[in-house]
Homo-oligomer: A and B are copies of this chain.
Amino acid sequence: MPLPRLSRYLPILSWARTYDRDTATSDLVAAVIVTIMLIPQSLAYALLAGLPAEMGLYASILPLVAYALFGTSRALAVGPVAVVSLMTATAIGQLGLSEPADIALAAVTLAFISGVFLALLGVLKLGFLANFLSHPVIAGFITASGVLIAASQLKHILGIDAGGHTLVELVISIGEHIGETNLITLVIGIGATAFLFWVRKGLKPLLLKAGLNRRLADVLAKAGPVAAVVVTTLLAWGFGLDERGVKLVGEVPTGLPPLSAPSFDLSMWQTLLLPAILISVIGFVESVSVAQTLAAKRRQRIDPDQELIGLGASNVASAVSGGFPVTGGFSRSVVNFDAGAETPAAGAFTAVGIGLATLVLTPLLFFLPKATLAATIIVAVLSLVDFSILKKTWVYSKVDFTAVTATIVLTLLVGVEIGVSAGVLLSIFLHLYKTSKPHVAEVGLVPGTHHFRNINRHDVETLDGVLTLRVDESLYFVNARFLEDLVLERVAKCERLEHVVLMFPAVNEVDMSALETLEELNRRLAEQDITLHLTEVKGPVMDRLKRSHFLQDLSGEVFLSQYDAWCALKPGAAEGSERERVAAQ
């Protein structure tokens, strides 16, 4: 049966067979709405990425078709998105290029590397690597990126030349050039921003109140950016605003995307490799989380490894058609879903819409003020900014708070790449650090039960001459030595100690380093005539211990439950009679 294998890599084979007219209609409606959103967004994100406007359109055609073939999400809308566009700008900025053709080539190459990397991860089924980004780190990174993106667009609102890839650089550069502000541009920029905020918050309730049905009100509210584009373009054309210093999009070539090929220049690859990997990972995480959320609402499932292949194919498609890195965006995907998209075909229909736009609309874009595009970006990204993650993590976990704070601060002050890398590494390090000094509780019997709890938290009974410690962590190289020191220290504080019982219900692993430590501990305690027992050792850990000499050398016993140990070590318990050696369990 070759078909199931093929449909694993080509999910289209599974949904296309049952595709019918009703589904097509739903997909088509969704596609129209997404196209209306995507035209200004694609132009704006190209601007954000430091690329010519048409590249935004090119990145919104073939990549959508590629995802429709290879993707598993029924509602994901692929294309240029804000955070990835910002990271693209940063990555290309590192090359220090000035020729527009070189910059475009770098963007295409970045998309290519990113696409190949994503597809490779997918084929190797390494999608789980995205889990190494914790939720707070992602939330912090998105928030900081939103602030950075908004700040980077201020120059277009003011109509000045300014630059920089960090918040400080941006603020200083804007400060230096603020005297050159073009007032007409500023009016257009602020007007468009205010209008778009109003559309987002105030228009829909108004339309509903006026008696429009919900779907139409939705569509009209989504068309806000298009209205802003049309009105400001007409103003610029009517009043000849380009002659009054208002910066316009200018000439945009008409026609479908050209064929393009990435550069294979080694030094360019060396510079772009790490940024491409970060762009891939961030893009994948954003995309897969929205895809998963939407799939869950309809009780569907997505396959993260196949998603990697889908996004990889999209980026390779972007690279061969003059685009730049793309991924599944949050806002357009939600709109696509709400508008009723049922299959990835909706994405293909959107691609047709954008294709038509490149054939028909491009001459009209000449008079579009850049300030309008900046306004659409600012309004879009400010909805991503949510500092509440700081408060949430502060209350819940200082470790998470530290990671998210570092991510936000470093992203804003040093840059997106350092910010997200530091967040990931710090959260891993802090996790390991926490496990390096595990919580160890002395426990006793909760009266009337067979249950043992911390003597400091619960009113429990203990036995004379017996120290029972519950080890609240897997034992591995990072904390092996710590446990040995801690047990010996506690033992040194007790008088007339005969037994040490280590309760292992929370020990999910005992690696080679920890095994050596346990052997050493057993030996050191035996020297002091103290017997070492283990209780509640889990099956997988026990299986492993049986492969070593430890169980033979252990001075005491391994009890199935802590209560068994209690009964056996209780004064008066007949030596050995109640003890059950469970080495054979």
Q: Are A508 and B473 in touch, CB under 8 angstroms?
A: yes
A132 within 8 A of B: yes
Instruction: Count the copies.
Output: 2
Q: A434 at interface (Cβ–Cβ under 8 A)?
A: yes
State whether A505 and B508 are in contact (beta carbons under 8 Å apart), knowing that A131-B436, A560-B451, A561-B449 are contacts in the complex: no
Whether B128 and A436, one on each chain, are in contact in the complex, defined by CB atoms closer than 8 angstroms, is yes
Complex CA–CA separation, A509 to B451 (angstroms): 21
Task: Choose, from A78-86, A362-370, A425-433, the stretch at the interface.
Answer: A425-433
Contact call A427/B477, Cβ cutoff below 8 A: yes
Q: Report Cα–Cα, A100/B439, bound state, in Å.
A: 54
Cβ–Cβ contact B397 & A544, under 8 A:
yes
A21 within 8 A of partner (CB): no
The chain B residue with its CB closest to the CB of A540 is B439
- Decide: B439 and A508 in contact? CB cutoff 8 A: yes
Q: Report the Cα distance A132→B480, complex, angstroms.
A: 10
For residue A196, CB closer than 8 A to chain B, the reply is no
Judging by beta carbons under 8 Å apart, are A478 and B131 in contact?
A: yes
**In the bound complex, what is the Cα–Cα distance between A65 and B293 (angstroms)?**
65
Residues of the B chain whose Cβ atoms lie less than 8 Å from the Cβ of A505: 505-506, 536
The stretch of A40-48, A178-186, A228-236, A512-520 that contacts the partner chain: A512-520
**Nearest residue, chain B, Cβ from A296:** B524
**A576–chain B nearest beta-carbon distance, Å:** 20
A305 beta carbon closer than 8 Å to chain B:
no
Mask, A465-499, CB within 8 Å of B = 1, is 00000001110111111100000000000000000
Interface residue A441 (Cβ < 8 Å from any Cβ of B): yes
Chain A interface size range = 35 or more
On chain B, the residues within 8 Å of A516 by CB distance are 135
Which residues of B sit under 8 angstroms from A507, Cβ to Cβ?
506
Which residues 514-558 in A have Cβ within 8 Å of B in the complex?
Answer: 515-516, 524, 536, 538-540, 544, 547-548
A184 to B399 alpha-carbon distance, docked (Å): 66
A399 and B134 CA atoms in complex are apart in Å by 24
Query: Contacts A134-B477, A506-B506; is A428 near B436 (CB within 8 Å)?
Result: no
Cβ contact within 8 Å between B135 and A477: yes
A136 within 8 A of B: yes
- Shortest Cβ gap from A122 to chain B (Å): 17
Q: Is the CB of A457 within 8 A of B585?
A: yes
Instruction: Contact check, A132 vs B450: say whether CB atoms are below 8 A apart.
Output: no
- CB of B508 within 8 A of CB of A450, answer no
Q: Given the complex of chains A and B, what is the CA–CA distance between A432 and B129 in angstroms?
A: 10
A342 located at the interface, meaning its Cβ lies under 8 Å from any Cβ of chain B in the complex? no
Partner of A512, one of B392, B473, B481: B392
Closest CB of chain B to A96's CB: distance in Å? Answer: 22
Given contacts A296-B524, A454-B539, A481-B131, contact A397 B512 (CB under 8 A): yes
Please, how many angstroms separate the alpha-carbon atoms of A133 and B507 in the complex?
20
Asked if A134 contacts B472 (CB within 8 A), the reply is no
Chain B residue contacts of A508, Cβ below 8 A: 435, 438-439, 472-473, 506
Given A432-B132, A457-B585, A539-B454, A397 contacting B482 (CB threshold 8 A): no
Which listed residue, B132, B453, B474, B539, touches A477 by the CB 8 Å rule? Answer: B132
- Cβ of A197 under 8 Å from chain B: no
A128: shortest Cβ distance to chain B, in Å?
Answer: 6
Q: Is A393 an interface residue (CB 8 A)?
A: yes
Which residue of B has the minimal Cβ distance to A393? B512
Contact pattern, A 86-109, Cβ under 8 Å of B = 1, otherwise 0: 000000000000000000000000
B397 lies within 8 A of A477 (CB): no
For the complex, give the distance between the alpha carbons of A36 and B449 in Å.
66
The verdict on A239 contacting chain B, using a C-beta distance below 8 Å, is no
Q: How far is the CA of A307 from the CA of B450 in the complex (A)?
A: 46
Given contacts A477-B132, A508-B438, A512-B135, is CB(A450)–CB(B563) below 8 Å?
Answer: yes
A357 within 8 A of B: no
- Would you call B547 and A395 a contact (CB within 8 A)? yes
Tell me whether B472 and A538 are in contact (CB under 8 A): yes
Determine which of B457, B544, B560 lies in contact with A446 in the assembled complex, contact meaning CB atoms within 8 Å: B560
Q: How far is the CA of A136 from the CA of B512 in the complex (A)?
A: 7
B-chain residues with CB within 8 Å of residue A509 when the two chains form the complex: 434
**Could you show 21 A-B contacts with beta carbons less than 8 Å apart?**
A128-B436, A128-B482, A132-B432, A134-B512, A134-B513, A135-B477, A393-B512, A396-B547, A396-B548, A397-B544, A399-B511, A400-B513, A439-B538, A441-B538, A446-B560, A446-B561, A451-B561, A451-B563, A472-B538, A505-B506, A506-B507
Which A residues fall within an 8 A CB radius of B?
128, 131-137, 296, 392-393, 395-397, 399-400, 427-428, 431-432, 434-439, 441, 446, 449-451, 453-454, 457-458, 472-474, 476-482, 505-509, 511-513, 515-516, 524, 536, 538-540, 544, 547-548, 560-561, 563, 585
A131-B481, A136-B512, A439-B540 given; name 7 further pairs at CB < 8 Å: A131-B482, A132-B432, A400-B513, A428-B428, A449-B561, A450-B451, A506-B508
Please list the 5 inter-chain residue pairs (A to B) with the smallest Cβ-Cβ separation, ordered nearest first.
Answer: A134-B477, A450-B450, A135-B513, A505-B505, A451-B561
